[in-house]
C-alpha cells in the first residue's frame, strides 16, 4: 500500500515536470491581448531552402490547417477601411475553402510587432503573416521568409498591381511579400478650414513662417496652440513628420542611397538640416507642449474636441477623426481639410510630398516549400487578400486603394471629407518613402529616441545624426 503511494507520488511528480516542460514545446496556444483571437499552432517541421517555383495558386488541393497571424482586430476594423476589408476577404476565403482550417492569431499592432519578431527569433513563424518592410532584408538573410518573386509574377492579378509598393519588401532582385491592406499616407495635416480662414488663411499655409504667424492669432484667440502632435511612442516623429520633412531637404535620391548603402550617410548636411529644422519647429510653440508625453491617439482628441485647429498624423488617425466627428460634430467634419507639410525655409525638395505606401506585406514561411499543397493554399490566400476583391471592397466602401489597382473609382457616392482625403492620398500630392519601412529597426530605434531629445531641445541635429549613423553602420 505504502509502496504504491510512493510510486503514485513519483508518477505525479514526473507528470508535473513533463507538463511544465511541455509548456515550452513547439506547439503553443497564443491568446491575443485586446483582440478577438482564436488559437495558433506552430509551423511545420524541417528547415528548407527558399522556393522560386509558383505552384498552382489554388487552395483546392489542400485539406488541413493553415496558420495566419495579423493585426486587423475587430476594434481596429471599426472605421478603418484596410482592416475591415482585410477581415472581410479573409472571411470570404475561409468560406470558399471549407476544407482548410485557417487558424488566425490576431493581435493589436504593437503586440503583433513584438510577437512576430519573437517568433522569427525562435524560427517559429506562422505559415502566413504580415511582414514589415524594415524586417525584409534581415529575415530574408536568415531564410525565414520565402522568395515570392516568381509567385508574384505568376499572379493572375499581376497586371493590375501597383509595383511601386513592392520596394520595401525587396532585397536585390527578389521580392518577399505581397503588399497588403491599404496604401495610406503616414503624414497628413488635418485642419479646421473655418478656424484657419478666421486666422486669415483660406487654405493651409505653404510655409512654416506663415504657420507661426497664424499661431499668434490662435494663441490670442482661445487656442493653446496651432497643431496637435503626439510622440510618446517615439515612432510618430519619424513616421509622421521627419520622413516627409527629411525628403524636402534631401530629395528621394538620398534615402534611396541609404537603402542601397550607396554612400549617403545620416550625417550628410541636408539631413542634419532637416533634423535641426524639426527641433526648431517643435520648440517654437506651434505644437502642443506635451507632444513628447502623449501619443497620437491623445493628440487627435485635441483636434476633435476643438482645442487645437490642426493635427498631424497618419491615415489611421484620419479614419478615427472622421468617424468620431461625423457622430459628435458634423459641422467640424464638414470643415475638415487635408494638407501636406508646409515647406521649410532652405529646403529644395518637392513642396508637395507626403510619405505613403503599404507598410506590410503578406509573407509566407519558407518552411512551406516542403509541402506543395499547403504552399498552394498559402499562395491562394495571399493572392486573394491582396487581389481585386479586397481592392474593390475598400474602394467602394472607403475610397481607399490597395496593391491591386481599381479603375474608375466613383467618388461621387462619398461625402466631401472622404473625397478630399482620397485626392490628398492618391491624386493631388507627390509620394515619398516612409523611412521605417526600410533599413533596420535598430537604426530607427536610436533615431526615434534621440528625436525626443532633439525636440525637447536637449541635443542638436549633428549629434542625433552621428548616433543614427553609428547605429546604421553597426546594424545595416
Partner 1 sequence: MLTRRPPLRVIIGYLMIPLALYIFAVFIPLMTAAFYSLFEWKGGPNKTFIGVANYVTLIKDKVFWLSFSHNLYLILLCVIGQVGIAFVFVMMINTRSVKLKSIHRTFGFFPSTIAAVYVGFIWTMIYDSRRGVLNWLLALIGRDDLKQVWLNNSDLVMTLVSIPLIWQYIGYYMLILLSATSSIDKEIFESAELDGANAVQRSIHIVLPMIKSTIIVCLVLCVSGNMKVFDNIFVMTSGGPGNDSMVMAMYGYKISFIQQNMGYGSAISVGIFVLGLLVIGAMQLFSNKFSKD
Contact set with partner 1 (CB under 8 A): 6, 9-10, 13, 16-17, 20-21, 47, 114, 117-118, 120-121, 123, 135, 138-139, 141-144, 232-234, 289-290, 292-294, 441-442, 445, 449-450, 452-453, 456, 458-459, 475
Q: Looking at beta carbons only, is 65 or 123 nearer to partner 1?
A: 123
Q: Looking at beta carbons only, is 369 or 431 nearer to partner 1?
A: 369
d(CA 60, CA 324): 42
Least gap, CB of 290 to partner 1 (angstroms): 4
Q: Looking at beta carbons only, is 23 or 98 nearer to partner 1?
A: 23
List alpha helices for 182-264, DSSP H: 193-198, 208-220, 236-237, 243-260
Count the Cβ atoms, other than its own, within 10 Å of residue 164: 12
Q: Looking at beta carbons only, is 71 or 383 nearer to partner 1?
A: 71
Q: Which residues contact 44 (CB under 8 A, 6 or more apart)?
A: 127, 367, 368, 370, 371, 374
Please choose, from the candidates 470, 454, 466, the residue with its C-alpha nearest in 3D space to the C-alpha of residue 275: 454
d(CA 101, CA 93): 11
CB 97 within 8 A of CB 58: no
d(CA 178, CA 142): 19
Least gap, CB of 437 to partner 1 (angstroms): 16
Q: Which residues contact 9 (CB under 8 A, 6 or more apart)?
A: none
Helix, strand, coil shares of the chain, percent, nearest 5, are 50, 15, 35
Least gap, CB of 98 to partner 1 (angstroms): 34
Least gap, CB of 297 to partner 1 (angstroms): 12
Q: Looking at beta carbons only, is 268 or 301 nearer to partner 1?
A: 301
CB 67 within 8 A of CB 379: no
Least gap, CB of 57 to partner 1 (angstroms): 27
Q: Which residues contact 336 (CB under 8 A, 6 or more apart)?
A: 190, 191, 192, 193, 321, 322, 325, 417
Q: Which residues contact 116 (CB under 8 A, 6 or more apart)?
A: 69, 125, 129, 130
Least gap, CB of 117 to partner 1 (angstroms): 6
Least gap, CB of 393 to partner 1 (angstroms): 33
The three cell numbers locating residue 75: 476594434
Q: Looking at beta carbons only, is 50 or 154 nearer to partner 1?
A: 50
Radius of gyration of the chain (CA): 24
Least gap, CB of 2 to partner 1 (angstroms): 9
CB 263 within 8 A of CB 454: no
The CA-atom distances, in angstroms, between 119 and each of 62, 90, 116, 126, 358 are: 25, 22, 5, 8, 22
Q: Looking at beta carbons only, is 235 or 414 nearer to partner 1?
A: 235
Least gap, CB of 113 to partner 1 (angstroms): 8
Q: Looking at beta carbons only, is 74 or 305 nearer to partner 1?
A: 305
d(CA 450, CA 421): 32
d(CA 34, CA 108): 6
Q: Looking at beta carbons only, is 10 or 91 nearer to partner 1?
A: 10
Q: Looking at beta carbons only, is 298 or 351 nearer to partner 1?
A: 298
Going 88 to 429 to 420 to 188, the CA torsion angle's sign is positive
Please choose, from the candidates 230, 48, 51, 238, the residue with its C-alpha nearest in 3D space to the C-alpha of residue 134: 238
Q: Looking at beta carbons only, is 13 or 29 nearer to partner 1?
A: 13
3-state secondary structure at position 144: coil
Q: Looking at beta carbons only, is 167 or 459 nearer to partner 1?
A: 459
Least gap, CB of 307 to partner 1 (angstroms): 8
Least gap, CB of 426 to partner 1 (angstroms): 32
Least gap, CB of 452 to partner 1 (angstroms): 5
Amino acid at each position: 500500500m505504502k509502496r504504491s503511494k510512493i510510486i503514485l507520488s513519483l508518477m505525479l511528480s514526473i507528470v508535473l515536470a513533463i507538463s511544465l516542460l511541455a509548456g515550452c514545446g513547439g506547439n503553443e496556444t497564443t491568446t491575443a491581448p485586446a483582440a478577438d483571437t482564436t488559437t495558433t499552432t506552430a509551423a511545420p517541421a524541417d528547415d528548407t531552402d527558399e522556393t522560386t517555383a509558383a505552384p498552382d495558386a489554388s487552395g483546392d488541393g489542400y485539406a488541413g490547417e493553415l496558420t495566419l497571424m495579423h493585426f486587423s482586430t475587430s476594434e481596429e476594423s471599426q472605421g478603418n477601411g484596410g482592416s475591415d476589408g482585410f477581415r472581410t476577404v479573409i472571411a470570404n476565403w475561409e468560406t470558399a475553402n471549407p476544407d482548410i482550417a485557417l487558424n488566425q492569431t490576431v493581435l493589436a499592432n504593437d503586440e503583433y510587432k513584438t510577437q512576430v519578431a519573437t517568433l522569427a527569433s525562435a524560427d517559429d513563424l506562422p505559415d502566413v503573416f504580415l511582414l514589415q518592410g524594415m524586417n525584409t532584408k534581415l529575415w530574408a538573410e536568415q531564410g525565414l521568409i520565402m522568395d515570392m518573386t516568381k509567385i508574384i509574377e505568376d499572379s493572375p492579378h499581376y497586371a493590375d498591381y501597383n509595383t511601386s509598393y513592392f520596394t520595401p519588401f525587396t532585397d536585390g532582385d527578389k521580392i518577399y511579400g505581397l503588399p497588403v491592406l491599404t496604401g495610406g499616407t503616414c503624414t497628413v495635416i488635418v485642419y479646421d478650414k473655418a478656424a484657419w480662414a478666421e486666422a486669415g488663411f483660406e487654405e493651409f499655409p505653404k510655409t512654416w513662417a506663415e504657420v507661426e504667424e497664424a499661431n499668434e492669432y490662435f494663441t490670442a484667440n482661445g487656442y493653446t496652440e496651432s497643431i496637435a502632435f503626439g510622440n510618446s511612442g517615439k515612432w510618430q516623429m519619424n513616421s509622421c513628420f521627419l520622413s516627409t520633412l527629411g525628403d524636402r531637404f534631401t530629395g528621394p535620391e538620398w534615402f534611396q542611397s541609404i537603402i542601397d548603402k550607396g554612400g549617403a550617410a545620416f550625417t550628410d548636411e541636408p539631413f542634419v538640416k532637416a533634423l535641426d529644422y524639426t527641433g526648431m519647429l517643435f520648440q517654437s510653440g506651434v505644437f502642443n507642449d506635451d507632444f513628447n508625453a502623449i501619443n497620437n491617439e491623445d493628440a487627435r482628441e485635441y483636434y476633435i474636441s476643438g482645442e487645437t485647429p490642426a493635427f498631424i498624423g497618419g491615415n489611421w488617425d484620419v479614419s478615427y477623426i472622421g468617424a468620431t466627428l461625423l457622430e459628435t460634430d458634423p459641422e467640424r467634419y464638414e470643415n475638415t481639410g487635408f494638407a501636406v507639410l508646409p515647406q521649410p525655409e532652405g529646403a529644395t525638395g518637392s513642396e508637395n510630398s507626403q510619405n505613403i505606401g503599404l507598410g506590410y506585406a503578406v509573407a509566407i514561411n519558407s518552411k512551406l516549400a516542403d509541402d506543395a499543397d499547403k504552399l498552394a493554399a498559402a499562395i491562394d490566400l495571399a493572392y486573394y487578400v491582396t487581389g481585386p476583391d479586397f481592392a474593390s471592397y475598400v474602394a467602394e466602401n472607403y475610397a481607399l486603394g490597395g496593391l491591386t489597382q481599381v479603375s474608375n473609382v466613383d467618388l461621387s457616392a462619398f461625402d466631401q471629407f472622404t473625397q478630399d482625403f482620397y485626392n490628398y492620398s492618391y491624386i493631388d500630392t507627390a509620394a515619398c518613402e516612409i523611412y521605417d519601412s526600410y533599413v533596420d529597426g535598430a537604426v530607427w530605434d536610436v533615431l526615434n529616441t534621440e528625436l525626443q531629445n532633439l525636440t525637447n531641445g536637449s541635443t542638436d541635429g549633428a549629434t542625433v545624426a552621428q548616433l543614427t549613423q553609428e547605429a546604421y553602420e553597426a546594424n545595416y
